Amino acid sequence: MSKELGLFYPDGSFKSDDEIRREFAQRKIFDEATEFLQHAQRLEGRFEVGVKEATFHPLPEYPKAPIAIWHATDIHYGSIRTNYDLLQRHLRILEETPNFYVLFNGDDVDNFNIINASATGVYEDPLMPQRQTQAWMAKIEELGKRGKIGVMSFGNHNNMMLKAGYDWLESFARNLRVNVFTSGGLLHLLHGEQHYPIAITHMYWGNCLGGSTRLLVKTPHDGIIEVYLKDIVRVYGNPDGTMKEDVFLVGKDGNWVKIKRWQKRKTRHTRHIKFRDGLELICSDNHRFLLEDGRLVEAKNLAAGDVVAKKSGVDLPKQSETIWNTEVQKIRVSSPATLYDIEVEGELFCLTNGAITHNSKLNPTNMGKRFWEHEYPEAEIILLGHTHQSELLHWERGGKERFISIGGTYKTDDRWARQHGLGSRSGCPGHAIVLFPNEHRFIGFKRMEDARDFLVYNLR
């Protein structure tokens, strides 16, 4: 009887030659696959157009004078709902005014297509998507050659090409002489002796909840009542997204926080989350929950077993009430639904069906400060878009002045927005920031025309 060939190990175990060969082959497969993936990563890096950090050092006609930066976002070129007179006026200011530059913050083109949009959106675009881009890029190339563009960043409308297999910036911005952020980033703007770090992204932290979400509210006429979210909007909301009267929700610490604004939108799918204590919640993929360990996690990244912070009941709020926790039991992708986004004043969290969830994306204090805090705490200027709201905010943190711009939209006749609770008046676009070369100082302007006048006065 022949003996099986193999090896004995110090612990007394034995492995045959066949077992050793199989293990070696498996390790070799893993090593070769990993080497192939690493090669693919290097190759992808050679194709990559976008960066996450860049430097812009403009060469102004008057280097000892201030410069102005136009925050251009949500232009939606190609739509019949866009205000082209206003857009052309702002482009002329950029081109004709010395020391004036631009940072593009996404949704340059409307870009509706039948794969990724409703029929009404497609019918609002007389030019097909590639023609919109070709026309817009003709202007961009001209501005880029003149050194007028600090960066081009992504937008969700730009990215509507992704389902067709193309990235808008990767496809059309490859030969531009400009910095490109395909997923937002940090721009180091240098002027004179000063360094201004600017954080840019198109959108950050959207939050939407189903209409069946229960909320404890306090109103002047009805007192403290428990009511569905959809009924809060129906009874107390105005069509333009404001409130008819002061309505308060419960904040994380049991304090009353006032609703400032609301919007609703239809979505193709939602997340239906069930908790072990019986709580159920319908929300968007990117609705954020506060976990017991302090992390904020989007609904799409929640998993069974995650423990969400929850307030003890929906009784009358008390400052001394404590937070307890509830475990996620099951998550499933649900059917299309109308979701609601509620902004409350100041507070970062509010109670929804008892669970502690993050405040609205509409609030610049919330959206801008959270982007700054969690992504780029070194930034002094924060630029955001997407919501079509127009707001500026100055504040101080860490002994430094900070500034947020949410830049409105040039799609000023946006009927879809009116029909979905975004308001009948889109936010005015054309924000601009003036930066000084010999002292660390910047000034925000709501109107680009005012920034131009200030700049021209200082060029004398």
* CB 64 within 8 Å of CB 96: no
- Largest pairwise CA distance in the chain: 105
Domains and CATH numbers, the chain: 6-42 (no CATH), 76-204+364-458 (3.60.21), 209-358 (2.170.16.10)
**311 Cα distance to chain centroid:** 28
Report the alpha-carbon distance of residue 381 to residue 392 in Å, rounded: 11
321 — pLDDT class (breaks 50, 70, 90)? very low
Using DSSP's 3-state secondary structure scheme, residue 342 falls into strand
pLDDT attached to residue 209: 62
* pLDDT for 420 beyond 60: no
pLDDT in tens, 192-251: 999 999 999 988 655 566 666 667 778 887 777 777 777 888 888 888 778 888 888 766
pLDDT attached to residue 253: 60
Cα→Cα distances 204→3, 186, 234, 399, 433, Å: 67, 15, 27, 25, 21
Q: What value does the mean pLDDT take over residues 39-52?
A: 82
- Written as six digits, the tokens of 453 are 């006048």
pLDDT greater at residue 294 or residue 143: 143
Lowest mean pLDDT among 21-35, 271-285, 327-341, 351-365: 351-365
* CB 447 within 8 Å of CB 85: no
1 — pLDDT class (breaks 50, 70, 90)? very low
Q: What value does the mean pLDDT take over residues 409-423?
A: 70
pLDDT attached to residue 352: 52
Q: Could you tell me what percent of the chain has a pLDDT over 90? A: 29
pLDDT greater at residue 6 or residue 375: 375
Q: What value does the mean pLDDT take over residues 319-346?
A: 64
314 — pLDDT class (breaks 50, 70, 90)? very low
pLDDT in tens, 52-62: 999 999 999 99
Report the alpha-carbon distance of residue 179 to residue 152 in Å, rounded: 6
* pLDDT for 145 beyond 80: yes
DSSP 402-460: EEEEEE--S--S-HHHHHTTS-SSPPP--EEEEE-SSSS-EEEESSHHHHHHHHHHHT-
Residue whose C-alpha is closest to residue 232's, from 240, 218, 309, 192: 218
pLDDT attached to residue 233: 81
pLDDT in tens, 358-375: 455 555 556 777 788 778
* CB 304 within 8 Å of CB 330: yes
Q: Could you tell me what percent of the chain has a pLDDT over 70? A: 79
E strand segments, 220-279: 223-228, 248-250, 256-267, 270-275
To the nearest whole number, what is the mean pLDDT of the chain?
79
Report the alpha-carbon distance of residue 445 to residue 425 in Å, rounded: 20
Helix/strand number for the chain, H first, E second: 9, 28
Using DSSP's 3-state secondary structure scheme, residue 29 falls into helix
Residue whose C-alpha is closest to residue 406's, from 207, 258, 108, 199: 199
pLDDT greater at residue 426 or residue 187: 187
* pLDDT for 436 beyond 90: yes
* pLDDT for 38 beyond 50: yes
pTM over cut 0.75? no
- Written as six digits, the tokens of 174 are 């490859």
Buried b (16+ CB within 10 A) or exposed e, 183-201: ebbbbebebbeeebbbbbb
* pLDDT for 26 beyond 90: no
pLDDT greater at residue 207 or residue 307: 307
pLDDT in tens, 266-294: 666 678 888 776 667 777 777 777 777 77
